[in-house]
Structure formats: structure tokens, C-alpha cells
Structure 1
Amino acid sequence: MIRPLRLVLALAAIYPSHSFAQEAERVVITGSNLRVTQKEGAAAVQVISAKDIRDSGKTSVADVLRSISANSGNSYNEQYTGSFSAGTSGLSLRGIGQKNTLILVNGKRVSSYATAQNIQDVFVDLNSLPMAAVQRIEVLKDGASSVYGSDAVAGVVNIILYREFTGTELTVQGGQSATGTGQSEQSALLQTGWGQLNKDGYSISLSVDAQKRSKLQQSDVSWLRDADFRDQQNGSLGWVATNYFGSDPTRTLGGVQGPLQLLPYSALTPGKTGQVLAYNPAPYRTLIPGIERVHTALSGTYQINPDTQAYAEWLHSYSRADQTFSAPLSVSSNLRVWNNANQSLTTIPVVLPVGHPNNPGSTPLAFSATLFDLGPRLKTDRVTFYRALAGIKGYTAGWDWDLSAGKSSSVMVETVANFVNRYVFQQVLADGSYNFADQSKNSEELRNRLRLSTRRPAQSELTTVDLSASSELWTLPAGKVGFAGGAQWRREAMDSQTSTAVLSGTELRPAINIINGQRDVSALFGELSVPLVKDLNLNLAGRYDHYSDFGNAFSPKASLRYQAADWLLLRGTASRGFRAPSFPEITKSTSVSYGSVTDPRDPLTPNQPRGVTNITIANAALQPERSNNLNFGIVIAPSANTSLGIDYYRITQKGVIGTESADTILASEKTRPEKVTRDEQGRITTLYRQYRNQGNREVSGLDLDIRQRFQSSDWGQLSLNGQLSYVLRFAEPLSAGAELTEGAGTNYFGSIPKWRGVSSVNWTKGAWSNTLIWNYVGGYEQKSASNETVSAFSSLDLTTSYKLSPATTLSLLVQNLTNRRPSWDSSTSFFDITQADPRGRFVSLKVQHQF
């Protein structure tokens, strides 16, 4: 449970500090196509203003969004270095996955990332979206398939960019780790504009932002560099045993060389005897990749006549992420290559022939070894993203209308180095020219022949045409009836390939994520706002989608908004939604990925995780995931400076798409042996999986929002803001047909802490502005280890700004002010990357100047 003091602090600071509808004009709120004047709608919308973003000290859209309390878990950023989508960042509202959160820019879709996360999740990469151009971000914490269609199950994030900007603003920021890691970061933002629509008849806005950050290795972090966690609950020495004959690590191949050291076997596996050769993996693991990003946003609006405007926008970004992918390749009995002819893996024998210099016997000898002299395996991902959009909107015969067409694309090229050529390896193994026992004796010419560099391409495209219109149809005694409707057509396509070296069987131990699909989606939607009585409004909405692959989906929604008093608002929504099967799930696709399992039947390490290969294939018979959403809440605002909001949400998903867990597959191995492959030693090498509509998921919880502001001529202005989210239920089956298992407050389905809070205090007086933000993540039970509870984690971020002049502001920013470490979690390498990061205290200086 959350401590009482922390609860008090959270309650003192939890409401959006900016209301997006301050003006009296009618605006469109995210989650609706109707224009309204209310500051609070029938569904909870959190608004993050440009000022909020500046005060947070965050340097990317991803960092801003991932810090909100509704981001319960299962969202990934650059720390997920073992991914097919390295260097990306997504958002998972309510913890039900990035594929269930819809990301919009200016109310319209953008292309998903070029390939899938976790081989399954199609998502929008937040790292590809501009930072400088953001005017505000609206986060709808409710299902919205009735307005937007697929993916808006958990909610919608609408990133709204400046359409009009006066003057020029330049911001430069530089920071450095204050904990000795050596990591640094620099960024620059330029925002400028020409023309004012009301005065000049046109407006143009241009922004450019760039960011560069150095790579952070595990060996750079003092408390991680030794990979020794035996002082932690269920912790162990994370060194890797290698270079041995047969299946017995104590039969060492060669002696100490390179990073290898001789250790007691019991240090790695309790109860074992003898000594083994092992190495520390920390120098070979990147915790946060080095990145370079440049974003450009250009938009323009032209007033054709008093009632008609033409508009266009161009978004473009280039991102590069560099990382150490892994230690040098280890060869052993589970070494395989891809056989493209029969879509399977072929085992490559790792056996020293008789006469090989490293074989002391008279019979062929199996062995395991790490090819340290080839160097660590390296990976670089380069991503180019764009969206071009043009449209015309106006007011005709009592109707507001908007027609637009757009094209968006994400193109990724991944290059790797120091992988190993299968054919050269087989040759040098057979002729004895490579020395595994003393790799210093190998020539550089031989090493270069073994080394393999490859290129993996992927691309995602989205083409859209949108038409919407709204008007007031007639007047009832309680007010006017509003109507909005429209149509949409879009074409989605994804072509994610692998390298020619993998397809030809040349690359040893390949990872594959082949996805190739295209579909057309057409939709009709409508929305009706009916004032039933004074201050009680009913909203009805519905959307019909037709997909060229699986068929149709209808998504209705009803909501009520009751302004019971000037200080009291009651609201609620009930809706149905859906998520269309993603391309890797439903179209022709195959993936080969690597993970780990704890196999009680393993003859060597029955209580230790062991690396295995997962082969996962698509299923053309999949149906969409259907959802039922229920939300209701209350907003109390006794004064203009005080507001309290409490909202309850419940999401029930049916036919959730997934694969069986490794534990379930192993438990049913006797009845379904075809799903498990073991080597001659009896150790697991491969698990076979296929996507299925497995069962239901039930998620529910509470959001608490508070705002309090104090103002004094003597002391200035003090604002307390924040959000607190509590997960009541997070349940889904462990396998198809199984009963629901409760995962709230556990890591059964990824870590889902029950509590998450973000609170801030801002004090402004004269030229000074100071913001202190408290981030809180509750603890949870670690289900793969007995009696382990992962502790709660909290951190403080500080931003202090001083106006040197009316045009220039200097800021000091400190992330993780108290240098808190993430909480230990033995089910991961050391901590859960979806909940925290290892950077520690990070200090930056920022200068902002307006011209």
C-alpha cells in the first residue's frame, strides 16, 4: 500500500495545470467531432500544455507522455534494446499494450512504426514526433472507437501542434550525468512563424528540434557493472559460463583469456562443484542507446474567403540509435540457421573433429565457446518518418466541414556488425584453423572472414482521406441538438523483411521478424448531442468500419454529462470498441526470437533461466479483439482555484490475441510435445507458438485528479497539480480456455503496480519559477520467484528558471534529484525497464531566448 504521507502529497497535487478550453470559443475536444464550450466533457481528458512540458524538464514527447499516471505498464522505450524496434518509444494506457493506445497528431492518424514491437505490437513511435512544435497534448482516458476506430481501446493521445506562431524562439539545452556514468545529452529547439490568419489572411509555422545523447552501458553504472546481485532477494551472480567440452561446464576448454575468469561453479549455480570459465556480461550490454534525432514540422493556413481555409502540414524526422547488441556470439549445441525453403531452423553441429588442435581426444567432441576475438555484436537503427497532409475546411449553410488527405510513412534500416558467417565457421571448424582455446593466436584475416555485417529493411505506410461535418440541427427546450458525421478511407501497409544473409542461411543464430501485408479500411461515423433537460446532455455516437481482411466492426457509444451545480459535474460513458488484428498477427508473417525459460527438467541448470528460441507464426483466422468500456466520474470545483476529480474506468476485452506462455507450454509438454524441441542433452532449444484469440481481459481502476492554486502579491503564485491512478483489477488467462488470473499488483502480465502517481508543486514569483515533480510507482509481487515483492519506487525532478530579461530565460533542470535507484526485480536482469531507468541524477542547463 502507498504510505499515508505519500498519499497526502499525491492528493495535494493531482490535476492538469492547464485547461484547454480557456477561451469562450467553441472547440473540438479529443474524443468527439462536435464543437463545445465546456472545459470538462463527458469523458476525462488530461491536458499537458507547452508550459507543463517546459516545467517538466523532459526533452522528448515520449518522456513527457510516459510520465503520466495512466501509463500503468507494458510500454517500452529505448531501454528495450533486445527488441526488433530498438530505439523506439511507445505508450500503454491502462497497461494493456501499446497497440491499444491510439496516437494522433492534430486529430489525425500517423503511420505506425516500420515493424512490430515484441514481434506483435504495431504502434506509433513517439520518438519520431516533434517536440518544439507541440502546443498541447490531450490524453483521453476512455475508449473512443466510436470516433476513431481501431486501437482506441484504452484511450487516445492527441498531440496538437502550433498552427500559428508569432516571433521566433530558440532553446538550447545541455546535460551531464552527475553519478559518474559519463552519459551526456544536448538538444536544441527552434520555433518561428510568419503571418496572422485574422490579420494577414495566412499563417506559417516552422519548428526544428534536434537531440543527441551518448550511449549508456551497464558497465558505466557503478551498482550494475559487476553483474553481481547475490545480495538481492533471489539474486544471483549474472556471469555467463562458457568455453567447455560437452555439457559439463567444469570441463574447461582452454584457460583464462580475454574477459574470461575462473570461478567456482557454485557461484553461478548453487549446489554445483568444480570451477568454470565465465565472463561478466556488463560491458556487452547497452542500457540506453546513443541517439541522434532531428524533427521538422511545417504548417500553413490560407484564408480563401471569410468562410473557407486551406491548410497543409509536413512532418519529418530522422532518428538514429546505436547500441551494443550483445556479447560476441557463443556457439553450442543449439546453434541454428534459417532454412527459408521449409521455413524452419537447421541445427549446425558444434563439434570439434578428431585432429582439431583443441580436441585432445580420439573422438569428435561437442563443445561450447564464445568468440571473444570477433568483438561485441553491434546494432544501428536508422528511421525516417514523414507525414504530408493537406485539406480544406469551412462553414457552409450552417455546417462546419473539413476534408483532408494525407500520406505517412516510417522507414527503418537496421545494420549489424560482428555477427558470424555460418559457412566460414563450418570451414574453420572442420580444418582446425580457428583456435577456440587461445583466440589470441587467430589472425585478423581469419577474424574478418568470420565477421558478418547485415542490413535489415522495414517500412510502414498509411494513406488517409477524411471527411467530417457538424452542425446544430434543431432547438429543444433545453438547448440545441448538435450533429457530426463523416467518412474515412485509409490504406495500411507493412513490409518488414530480414537480411539476405538470414534468408540464405548464412547468419548464425538469426533473429527474424518478417511481416508483409496490406489492407483497406473504410468507415462511416456519426455523433449526436442532445440536451435532455437544463444542464443534462446526452451524447450518442457510432462508427462502422469495414476491413478488407477480416470483415466489419461496429462501435457505439453513449455518454451523459450533468452539470448538477456550478461547482459539481457528474459524467459517464458506455461504449464498445475493437482492435483489428495487426499485420504480424493475421497476415503472412514469421518470427524467430530469443528469450529465456526456467525449465525444471533441464539437466544442467534446472533452477536458472536458459536461453531458448521462439518460432511464432500468424493466424489468418483471427477475429478482432472486442471491448466494452464503462467510465463514470465526478468533478468538484468549489472555486476557480480548486478542483477535485474522481473517475472510475472498466475495460472488458474479448478474444484477446496472444500466444501461450512458456510456462504453460512446458506444463503441457507431455500432451503436446510438438511445441517443444530439446537437444540430445535434454535441454530446450525451441518453443513453437501461434497467435490465437485466447480469451478475455478485465481491467478496472480509479483516477484521482486534484488542482489547487494560491496567489499572493507578497509570495507570488503557488500551484499544486497531479494525478494518481489505482488499478483495481487486471485479469486475463494464462492460456486459451483457462480461467482469468489476477495480475493487478503483480508482474504476471508485465509489471502492473496498483499505484502510480505524478504530483507537482510550482512556485512563481517575479523573475523566478520553480517546479518540483514527484513520480511514484507502487510495488508489486514478483510471480516467478517465491516470496519476492518488488519495492515501490519514487523520484523527484526539479526545474528552476530565472528570467534574465523579458526575452531570455535561464533554467537549471535536475532529473532524479535524490539519485534513487530502480527497485530490484529478479524476474528481469535487475529492474523493470517499463517502470524506471538507471540514469540516476542528471543535471542540465537550458537557455531560452525569444526574438
Structure 2
Amino acid sequence: MKNVRRNKSLLALSITTALFATNSFVANAAEDVERIEITGSHIKRTNMEGPSPVTSLSQEDIQKTGVTDLISLFTKLPISGQGTFSTQANSSDDTANGGSSVSLRGLGADSTLILINGRRVSVSPFAKGIDTAFVDINNIPLSAIKRVDILKDGASATYGSDAVAGVINVVLRDDVDGAEISAKIGDTADGGGEEQSLNLVFGNNTDNTNHTFVLEYFNREEVMYSDRSYSATANQAARTGDPNATDFRSSAGIPGTIALASDPSNRRIDLYGNDICAPEDQDLANNLCRYDYAPHMTMIPAAERFSWNYMGKYEINDTIRAFAELNGQNSKSTVRGAGSPSFNELYMSGDNINHPFANMPDDEFYMQDLTMRRRTVDIGNREKRVDSDYYRAILGLQGEFKDWSWEAAYSYIKSSSVERGVNGFPNSRRTQEAIDSGLWDPFEPSSNSQEALDFIETTTTRVGKSTMKSFDFKVSGALMDMPHGELMLALGTEYREESISDNPDDQFLRGEVFGTEATQANGSRENFAMFGELAIPVIDNLEVQIAVRHEEYSDFGTTTDPKISFLWAPTEDLSLRGSYGTAFRAPSLHQLGLGRTDESPNLVDTLRCEAIGNQDRACEPQEYTAVFEGNPNLGPEESESYNLGVIYNITDDLNFSVDYYNYDITDIIDSDTQFVMDNYGLDQTIVERRPTSIPGDPGEVIQVNDSFQNIGDLQTSGIDLDIRYALDTESGMFKFGYVMNYVLSFEDYKGTEEGGFEQPQMRWTTSVDWTLNDFSATAALNYIDSFEQEASLKLNKKVDSMMTLDASINYFGIENTVLTIGATNLTNEKPPFAYHDFMGFAVNVHSGQGRFAYLQAKYKF
């Protein structure tokens, strides 16, 4: 069945076309020279193709997709995989709200190196998922981009740490002469997500200077899970009627569940007094009052960004030029979540004035100390606001000395963020004091005064800063003449200082805020690197390139990484290329310097499930408290990779490239809390449990203590295919193409395989571009293969494949003006159902945006 499905997909692809103009064999020579100079090598070259596989997306290619930010572009790339994340699914529980990044080949956002104009960028001060250090690509406005180059093999020998999966180099516009203004508005079909953007680009070129300025404003309305029918409730079992689906509603309800403090497993739904658990929330089988948090949670947060960019050069004399790159952005994001949950953190003494059983002397709960599962909905739903500033300054000189070129630059980059919890967050110490004094009655919400609510509510603050200072120098040129050409050499050095600080307020550090997640991490490091490259013309049509880079880190040691690659063109139309190299990823400053951090992952208590079955939902995924800390003894991840490819121009109008890749990564840095729960669940020093009176029951988990380790290995291999066809007819010019990534194998230490959960085996994008007179149009299909449901659910089902259609029409009939109308996901396809979480779809793979229609106008003057 796999082969049948695969053949059908390939047949469909051959009929349709590719969205992205990758490695365009019809690109003009100037673009090719510039692309090769920047990405994949420090050696300047004039030939079109280099030894390493590079995909290039022009400004025009990006505009055709209809996307409004970089992450929307990257999520459409077939090469993107697990670990790519957007602001989708940001919530009050996220640790990197407002941030986005891409993971090439599914090897992790921290294994994909992001460059701007060939230089590094500082990471976000707020890590994703506690430990994933990432460059926030939301800091790069689309209007400032000239081109995006994607190097699809390991490149630590050229660029250093993090280039395990490959490199994304964003090249900014620097050649504008004149001005242009553009505006775009768009909206979704199902509510929420309305967007507006306004861009102004202007510049001028003289004999010895050029200046380019870019200003961009972007605003997007939030999308709530309640805006989509498939995610409007956390009770997926009731919504779908599927016996395999789960009721993900929280066990912390309103007014909640009452339990004995001495034995929390002895509990009752709160049906006492004036305020009682609503009938639709009563879970009689598990004695729980549930709460449907989904309607109150953000799917895509509101965002507002203002960006400015300047690129300038000044020709000092015929051989020396000064240059400057100045970029900045302010961004604001708002995320929402349901009222804060408490899971037995609070208690009420047996003699409390508000004790619900004070007048029931025959009840076993009479005069007993109580605990509770409860939502503090009475103080409102949670709301966090994130305000971030980003600054980047590059000052440098470049020039020529005889036949050699050189460049030196100083870089300073700073990212700072302030995250504030402005609504719905209780201070647990004050809440407990209010219970003890009788000021606040957790079991009778309607009886509580505004004074009581104001007393227990707090605001939270988290402040983060990330900086990078660096100096780099490189020189390249012809070392000597050889029988078949010049022996080219590049040498360089780089010194870098990095620091991060991520500090929540004191009340969080004291453990006084429940219902929120934040990290604390502080660290700094210095790095010194030396690198060199040789391009050897072995024969007239065979070039071999050798690169090596040596790095010294102040916090974990040294590493040296080589790479060898070749490009052989036996005929004018046929080229073969290949590369082999090692790469590494240094442990992030977050992983080394993380302070105590509380998380609430969804886990299955497998040991308790085996002991008591599904009593107390022991066999179902539930939120548990996991306490993380950094590990200063971490070593780097190391990898070996190789690539073999063919580029063939069949005719002037038809060409293709195909590449085989293989990665072997060892000593992966990770934390696997489910693994800890499964293997150390009865060790009270690692997994803390509550005492229980039920025979054989190990007790409910209170918290899991976890950290980061060099925990395991990963191997993956696959095929990249890119086909192009141009057809000139009386009805217009048509350009067809097809881009595919097919994963042959994927295996990591967790047992994940190709086609496993969130690991689709195949992705492709195919489209047709048409141009005639004053009109042009694009239609594109984006396909994501099916994959297995989350493994712990043990379901013999799959998450279905998904295909979306993007389309746009441009009109050029008005002088200096381009008008565009278009839509992404034109047919408004819903994401396929996934059983693993409350929203009912895999937010790390599929989009819940739905159809997004837009209008755009651009005017040049």
C-alpha cells in the first residue's frame, strides 16, 4: 500500500508544479554569483552551482506564496520538519510566546543555523520548551528580504556550531534606487486572524554610496481555539463520538473537587452549598469536576510589530569600502489561557469557618483537613503580554588587495523581552492565607468579595535579555595557478561573546505562582574560531573543496570539524556533487545555566497504570509537575553527514536535481520526562508521590525531577527532488516545477521512526506560474503525508495526510503599480484529526488558520 500511495503522489506531482524557485537553473548570472559567494562557502566563485545543495528563494518567490511572515514561508518548505514552530499554540503555558523558528529535516530548531547576510544572530532570550535556544525569525520582516538561501547539508566546518542540519541565510535588500510602498489586508474564513501590513522601502545609489531603508508595520488579530469547530472543546470524545478519543477537560474545575488532605485519592465532586459543579462537568466515574479550558485558549496570539532596516555602503577609494547594517524591531504579543488550575496545592483546615462539611457531623469529611482541585476562574482567565525589542548593528570594511578580497566586521546584537502576566494569576501564598482567614471561600465562588479576589490575584513579570558581540575577519583569493585552474583559498577567524539572562520575578522563584510556566536561566560564554577552505581544480570539470574549522569554547572545550565536497560536470548539462563532513551543536546557555523551572507536561503514569488500571485516569495523559534544572556538565552534540546529488539540464526548458542525504547524530542533548517516569517512577528521590490507602497503588505523582543529558543518538536519510519545466505558448508563459522531500529512514533514541508521530515521510509542494501581458497568476498545492498517532496511545490509526491549495492573481496594467488578490488554503481544508491533545490536531505539523484571503497593492515611485 505504501508503494501504491507513493506512486499516486508522484503521478500527481508530475502533472502539477513547484511553488519555490529553488536552485533555479534559469537564474541570471549575477544572482548566481551573489548566492554562491554568501552561502555554503567563504570562497568567492563565478560558477553557477557549488558542491553543496543550496535552495534559493527570491523576493518574487516569497511574494507568490501569499505569506506575511517568514515562519509561514518555512512551514511550507518540504525540507522543514518536526521542531519547526510558529506562534500557533502559544498559550499561558508556553515559555517562548511570540517566537518562531524552523527545523530543517526535523533535527531541531537549535540544529538549524540562522544567518543574516552570512553572519550569526543572537538567540531569543526566552527558550522554547525550556531548553531549545532559537533565533526568532519573526525579527526579520519580509519587505526587507532580498533572498533566502537554504544550505541543505551540515556546515559546521564553514559556520561553526548549530549548522548540524543545515543553514538558512537571509539576505537583506541593499540595492534599492527609488521608493516603493505596499499595503496588504487579509482575513480568515472562520473568524480571528485578520491581518494588516504596511511597508515603505526607499534608497538611492551614487557612484560611491548606496543606501537602502525599509520600514514595516504588521498587525494580526488573535485566533482562539473556540474560533474553530474542531478545537472549540477539550472534550474530543464527546465532540467526535469516537471511543478512542479522549476527554481532555481538566480535572481542576469550578468550584472543583474536594479531597482529604491525608489521602487525595479519596475525593468527591463539589455538590455542596450554593455553588456546585455543573452537571455537564461532573465526571462520576472518576469523582472529578471537570473544566473545559479549550474555548479560552489562544491558538494564534495577537501580534503587532514595527521594524526598520538600513543597509549602506561607502566607497572610500577604488579598493576599500565601508559598510553598515542596522536593524531593529519592537514586537508585542498577547496570549490567553483559561483560569489558573490548582492540583491539590491548596488546603483547608478541619476547623475553617468555610468548611463545606461543618454542619455534617456524620460525614467522613467532617472536621477533616481538605485539599482541592480547582480553577480560579473567579479572578478571570489568564492573559500574558510580551513586549520585545531587537537590535542588530554591523560595521565593517571590505576591499581588495591585488587579486585577493578581504572583509572585517564588528557585530553587536541584542534581544530583550518582558513578559507580564496581567490577568488571572493567583499568588498561592496569599490564596492560602485568604483560605485560612476565611476571606476567600474556594468552595463558594459567588460569595467572595472583590476585596478577596484582589487579594489573591497577582501580576507576574519575566525579563529576558540575549546579547552577542563578535569580530570576524576573512580573506580569499587565488593561491596559485594549477594546470586546470586556480587553487582558491579562504582563511578567517571569529571571536564571539554571548550571554543570556531569563529571570522571572521573586514570587515565581519562591514557588508562589501556580498556573504559569516560566524559566530562569543565566549564562555567558566566549568563543574563538579559525577556519580555512581550499577549492582545488583537479581537472577541467572537477572541483574538490576542503574546509576545516577549529572552535574553542570557554565553557565546554574545543572541537574541530572538517568537510570535503566535490562538483564534477562530465558534460555541459550534467553535474554530480557530493559532500562529507562532521558538525556539532554546543549545549545552549539555557541548557547549561537553567535554574529551577516548573513545567506541566502531559504524561502517562505507566507504572501506576500497570498497578491499578485506569483508576484515577492513571492510564491517560495528564498534566504533571516536572521540575527541571540545567546541567553544567553537558558536552556537545556531534554528527557526521554526507550528501550525493545529480543536476541535469535535460533541455533548455526542462531540468532537475536530486540529492541523497544521510545524517548520524550522537550525544543528543534532551530531557525525556516520560522516560524518567517510566524507568524511575518508583524512586521517591526522582518521582515524588502522594501516600495512598489503596493496596498496590504507588500513589499519585506530585512532581518529577528532571534535567538535561547527552541522552542518545539519531540517524536519518532521505531524498530531495526538484524538477523544473518552462513552456512558452501563445497563451502565455508557464513555469512548472515540483519540490519533494522523502524520508527514507528516521530513528532516534526514543524509538521514533519515519512516518511516526509528527514525522511525515513525504512532503511536496507543486505549482504553476502563468504570465501574459498585464496579468500573472500562481496556483500551488502543498502536501503533507500521513503519520502515526502518538505512540503512547497505542492506536492502530493514522493522522491523515493534508493537502492545501494556494492561489493568487496579479495585475500590472496600472503604471508602477501591482495589484494582487489571493488566498492561502483556498478550499479551507481542516487539519486532520489527531488524538494526542485537546485541540484535536497536530499543531507542530498542521495549521489551524484555515482559508486566508488577502488583497495587496504595491506602488513604485
Asked if these proteins are the same fold (TM beyond 0.5), I'd say yes
**Alignment of 1:744 onto 2:750:** no
Comparing 640-649 and 150-159, the one that deviates more: 640-649
Cα 1:669–1:223, aligned 2, differ >3 Å: closer, same or farther? closer
Comparing 9-18 and 471-480, the one that deviates more: 9-18
**Alignment of 1:688 onto 2:724:** no
* Residue of structure 2 in register with 1:405 after alignment: 410
* Structure 1 residues 486-532: Cα deviation after superposition (integer angstroms, max 9, x where no partner): 10001011111111221344323553411111111011100000011
Whole-angstrom distance in 1 between the partners of 2:122 and 2:736: 37
**Alignment of 1:723 onto 2:723:** no
* Residue of structure 2 in register with 1:339 after alignment: none
Which of 45, 48, 53 is the aligned partner of 2:57?
Answer: 48
Whole-angstrom distance in 2 between the partners of 1:260 and 1:424: 27
* Residue of structure 1 in register with 2:21 after alignment: 17
The answer to whether the 8 Å contact 1:585/1:691 transfers is yes
**Alignment of 1:265 onto 2:283:** yes
Unaligned segments of structure 1, at least 5 residues: 267-271, 336-347, 735-740
Shift of 1:834: 1.5
**Alignment of 1:154 onto 2:165:** yes
* Residue of structure 1 in register with 2:681 after alignment: 669
Whole-angstrom distance in 2 between the partners of 1:477 and 1:187: 56
* Residue of structure 1 in register with 2:644 after alignment: 632
Shift of 1:373: 1.1
Shift of 1:588: 5.4
Counting matched residue pairs gives 816
* Residue of structure 1 in register with 2:247 after alignment: 237
**Alignment of 1:6 onto 2:9:** yes
Cα 1:803–1:261, aligned 2, differ >3 Å: closer, same or farther? farther
Whole-angstrom distance in 1 between the partners of 2:449 and 2:676: 47
**Alignment of 1:660 onto 2:678:** no
**Alignment of 1:358 onto 2:356:** yes
The answer to whether the 8 Å contact 2:531/2:547 transfers is yes
Which of 235, 238, 252 is the aligned partner of 2:270?
Answer: 252
Shift of 1:18: 6.0
Cα 1:394–1:258, aligned 2, differ >3 Å: closer, same or farther? farther
Whole-angstrom distance in 1 between the partners of 2:29 and 2:353: 85
Unaligned segments of structure 2, at least 5 residues: 260-264, 359-365, 610-614, 693-698
Tell me the amino acid that sits aligned with residue 570 of structure 2.
A
Which of 281, 301, 322 is the aligned partner of 1:310?
Answer: 322
**Alignment of 1:220 onto 2:218:** no
| Partner SS, residue 634 of structure 1 | strand
Aligned runs of 1:149-548 on 2, under 5 Å? Answer: 149-179=160-190, 181-196=191-206, 200-230=207-237, 231=240, 232=242, 234-241=244-251, 242=253, 243-246=256-259, 247=265, 250-254=268-272, 260-263=278-281, 265=283, 272=285, 277-324=289-336, 326-333=337-344, 335=345, 349=347, 353-360=351-358, 361-417=366-422, 418-508=424-514, 511-548=517-554
The answer to whether the 8 Å contact 1:359/1:365 transfers is no
* Residue of structure 2 in register with 1:37 after alignment: 46
Whole-angstrom distance in 1 between the partners of 2:296 and 2:691: 30
Comparing 251-260 and 599-608, the one that deviates more: 251-260
Cα 1:263–1:834, aligned 2, differ >3 Å: closer, same or farther? closer
The answer to whether the 8 Å contact 2:286/2:616 transfers is no
Tell me the amino acid that sits aligned with residue 455 of structure 1.
T
* Structure 1 residues 348-390: Cα deviation after superposition (integer angstroms, max 9, x where no partner): 5455644325344232233322222110011111111110001
Shift of 1:563: 0.6
| Partner SS, residue 491 of structure 1 | strand
* Structure 1 residues 30-88: Cα deviation after superposition (integer angstroms, max 9, x where no partner): 11001112222111111000000111101112211221111022211101413211111
Whole-angstrom distance in 1 between the partners of 2:657 and 2:582: 24
Shift of 1:297: 0.7
Whole-angstrom distance in 2 between the partners of 1:207 and 1:599: 53
Shift of 1:258: 9.8
**Alignment of 1:96 onto 2:107:** yes
Tell me the amino acid that sits aligned with residue 224 of structure 1.
S
| Partner SS, residue 674 of structure 1 | coil
* Residue of structure 1 in register with 2:832 after alignment: 823
Shift of 1:98: 0.3
Which of 58, 66, 72 is the aligned partner of 1:57?
Answer: 66
Shift of 1:548: 0.7
| Partner SS, residue 127 of structure 1 | helix
Shift of 1:820: 0.7
The answer to whether the 8 Å contact 2:189/2:851 transfers is yes
Tell me the amino acid that sits aligned with residue 696 of structure 1.
D
| Partner SS, residue 36 of structure 1 | coil
Whole-angstrom distance in 2 between the partners of 1:815 and 1:837: 11
More strand by share: 1
Shift of 1:465: 0.5
| Partner SS, residue 142 of structure 2 | coil
* Residue of structure 2 in register with 1:758 after alignment: 765
The answer to whether the 8 Å contact 2:688/2:701 transfers is yes
Cα 1:720–1:353, aligned 2, differ >3 Å: closer, same or farther? farther
Whole-angstrom distance in 2 between the partners of 1:38 and 1:350: 76
- CA RMSD, 1 decimal: 2.0
**Alignment of 1:606 onto 2:625:** no
* Residue of structure 2 in register with 1:838 after alignment: 848
Shift of 1:331: 2.6
* Residue of structure 2 in register with 1:597 after alignment: 603
Whole-angstrom distance in 1 between the partners of 2:183 and 2:226: 30
- Normalising by structure 1, we get a TM-score of 0.93
* Structure 1 residues 387-417: Cα deviation after superposition (integer angstroms, max 9, x where no partner): 0001010001221000000100110100002
| Partner SS, residue 433 of structure 2 | helix
Tell me the amino acid that sits aligned with residue 652 of structure 1.
D
* Structure 1 residues 166-188: Cα deviation after superposition (integer angstroms, max 9, x where no partner): 11111101111222x24311111
* Structure 1 residues 667-699: Cα deviation after superposition (integer angstroms, max 9, x where no partner): 3434x4422111234111211112111222111
| Partner SS, residue 448 of structure 1 | helix
| Partner SS, residue 426 of structure 1 | helix
Whole-angstrom distance in 1 between the partners of 2:125 and 2:542: 45
Cα 1:52–1:588, aligned 2, differ >3 Å: closer, same or farther? closer
The answer to whether the 8 Å contact 1:245/1:253 transfers is no
Whole-angstrom distance in 2 between the partners of 1:122 and 1:18: 28
| Partner SS, residue 465 of structure 2 | strand
Comparing 256-265 and 633-642, the one that deviates more: 256-265
Cα 1:19–1:76, aligned 2, differ >3 Å: closer, same or farther? closer
The answer to whether the 8 Å contact 1:482/1:530 transfers is yes
| Partner SS, residue 290 of structure 2 | strand
Comparing 307-316 and 74-83, the one that deviates more: 74-83
* Residue of structure 2 in register with 1:567 after alignment: 573
Whole-angstrom distance in 2 between the partners of 1:69 and 1:597: 30
Shift of 1:599: 1.6
Shift of 1:552: 0.5
* Residue of structure 2 in register with 1:269 after alignment: none
Cα 1:273–1:732, aligned 2, differ >3 Å: closer, same or farther? closer
Whole-angstrom distance in 2 between the partners of 1:668 and 1:449: 40
Which of 138, 145, 148 is the aligned partner of 2:156?
Answer: 145
* Residue of structure 2 in register with 1:784 after alignment: 792
- Normalising by structure 2, we get a TM-score of 0.91
Shift of 1:248: 5.5
The answer to whether the 8 Å contact 2:208/2:315 transfers is yes
The answer to whether the 8 Å contact 2:158/2:531 transfers is yes
Tell me the amino acid that sits aligned with residue 568 of structure 2.
Y
Comparing 602-611 and 791-800, the one that deviates more: 602-611
* Residue of structure 1 in register with 2:612 after alignment: none
Shift of 1:257: 5.7
Cα 1:760–1:257, aligned 2, differ >3 Å: closer, same or farther? farther
